[in-house]
């Protein structure tokens, strides 16, 4: 089974390059960039915890007293990023209570509230562009804080910016941060003529997978205005990504799969909690 999956991987996946950038390059990019924290979703699979505390899942206190949102901000702050906007709706006040104006983290945080109803990440970004929370002249990194970056060797912000630079040199407008595959969450079977010939527990399925982090150049903002309206709930991955891919304007940058933890259900939250308790985060 592994050999067949590896053959499949070679057929659909070929990683791109990242540009060589200096600390000055990164600092200059950070000064011209806003990091948008996508923290407006309901988080239905963690509803028991969020409803009990009337708190957004990214504002839940972890064993060390930290939150997923603060962890994410701190990672970018260490790389020189200072401007953040939180895209809020569900339990918005809990996020505001945690982050305030960002001064305790050494950054500046503003807020863009979904208008009256949740509009998804696509609508939330359009709304933030229109209300000025995302200046039209600046780069944008969108990061879902429940997509935690764990044990990354080096600087994650540096590397994704270097990946985006490599893409822009080829005419790309956005860079999706991906892993080269994810574990299948069930028992995998190889079957011939109805007979099970091989069993593999949780096999690695080599389909590149978006990890909830995207880098955008300012030239893409007109597409947000054109494609998303504020009467619908729409994520940009399902609408904008296919369009950019068709136009050959969507790049990718790959990170190690073991460095990505999606905390969108009790199992993911428990894993993050254990990593923190064990000092492995």
- Host domain of residue 42: 2-273
Q: Is residue 136 part of a domain?
A: yes
Confidence of residue 98 (pLDDT cuts 50, 70, 90): very high
Residues 6+ apart with CB under 8 A from 222: none
Q: Is residue 150 part of a domain?
A: yes
Q: What is the pLDDT of residue 43?
A: 66
183 pLDDT higher than 70: yes
Q: What is the mean pLDDT of residues 243-251?
A: 97
Owner of token pair 């401007």: 83
Q: Is residue 279 part of a domain?
A: no
Distance (Å, rounded) from C-alpha 2 to C-alpha 226?
A: 43
Distance (Å, rounded) from C-alpha 54 to C-alpha 80?
A: 32
Q: What is the pLDDT of residue 63?
A: 87
Radius of gyration (C-alpha) of the chain in whole angstroms:
19
* Helical ranges in 172-235 per DSSP H: 221-227
116 pLDDT higher than 90: no
Instruction: State how many domains the chain has.
Output: 1
173 pLDDT higher than 70: yes
Q: Of 129, 143, 39, 32, whose CA–CA distance to 92 is shortest?
A: 39
Q: What is the pLDDT of residue 52?
A: 76
Q: Is residue 280 part of a domain?
A: no
Q: Is residue 281 part of a domain?
A: no
Q: Of 207, 187, 212, 209, whose CA–CA distance to 199 is shortest?
A: 187
Structure tokens at 191: 């079957």
Instruction: Reduce the DSSP state of residue 82 to 3 states and report it.
Output: coil
Sign of the alpha-carbon torsion through 159, 165, 171, 175: positive
Query: What phi and psi, each to the nearest 5 degrees, are found at residue 195?
Result: -100, 125
Q: Is residue 8 part of a domain?
A: yes
Q: Of 90, 86, 114, whose CA–CA distance to 100 is shortest?
A: 86
- Is 79 in contact with 141 (CB distance < 8 Å)? no
Distance (Å, rounded) from C-alpha 169 to C-alpha 15?
A: 16
Distance (Å, rounded) from C-alpha 280 to C-alpha 258?
A: 12
Distance (Å, rounded) from C-alpha 111 to C-alpha 77?
A: 18
Q: Is residue 165 part of a domain?
A: yes
Q: How would you label 29-61 residue by residue, b for 16+ Cβ within 10 Å and e otherwise? A: bbeebbbbbbbbbebebbeeebeeeebbbbbbe
Distance (Å, rounded) from C-alpha 175 to C-alpha 75?
A: 19
Please state which of the ranges 94-98, 115-119, 126-130, 199-203 shows the lowest mean pLDDT: 115-119
| CATH classification of the domain holding 27 | 3.90.550.10
User: Over pLDDT 70: what percentage of the chain?
Assistant: 99
* Helical ranges in 13-67 per DSSP H: 23-31, 47-53
44 pLDDT higher than 80: no
Q: What is the pLDDT of residue 281?
A: 67
Residue 239 bridge partners (DSSP): none
Q: Is residue 43 part of a domain?
A: yes
Q: What is the pLDDT of residue 56?
A: 92
Burial class (CB in 10 A: 0-12, 13-18, 19+), 248: exposed
- Is 111 in contact with 96 (CB distance < 8 Å)? yes
152 pLDDT higher than 70: yes
Structure tokens at 215: 């880098």
């Amino acid at each position: 089974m592994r050999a067949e999956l590896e053959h499949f991987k070679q057929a659909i996946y070929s990683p791109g390059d990242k540009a060589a950038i200096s600390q000055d390059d990164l600092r200059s990019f950070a000064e011209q960039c806003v990091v948008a924290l996508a923290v407006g979703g309901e988080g239905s699979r963690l509803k028991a915890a969020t409803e009990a505390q009337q708190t957004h899942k990214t504002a839940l206190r972890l064993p060390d007293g930290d939150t997923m949102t603060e962890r994410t901000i701190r990672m970018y702050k260490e790389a020189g990023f200072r401007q953040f906007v939180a895209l809020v709706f569900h339990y918005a006040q809990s996020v505001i209570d945690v982050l305030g104006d960002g001064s305790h983290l050494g950054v500046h945080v503003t807020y863009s509230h979904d208008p009256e109803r949740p509009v998804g990440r696509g609508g939330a970004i359009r709304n933030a562009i229109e209300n000025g929370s995302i200046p039209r002249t600046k780069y944008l990194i969108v990061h879902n804080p429940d997509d935690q970056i764990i044990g990354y060797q080096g600087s994650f912000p540096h590397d994704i910016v270097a990946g985006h630079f490599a893409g822009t040199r080829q005419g790309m407008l956005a860079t999706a941060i991906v892993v080269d595959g994810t574990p299948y969450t069930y028992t995998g079977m190889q079957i011939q003529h109805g007979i099970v010939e091989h069993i593999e527990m949780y096999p690695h399925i080599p389909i590149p997978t978006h990890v909830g982090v995207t880098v955008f150049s300012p030239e893409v903002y007109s597409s947000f205005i054109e494609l998303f309206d504020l009467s619908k709930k729409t994520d940009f991955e399902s609408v904008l990504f296919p369009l950019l891919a068709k136009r050959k304007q969507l790049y990718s940058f790959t990170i190690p799969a073991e460095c990505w933890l999606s905390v969108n259900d009790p199992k993911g939250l428990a894993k993050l909690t254990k990593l923190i308790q064990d000092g492995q985060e």
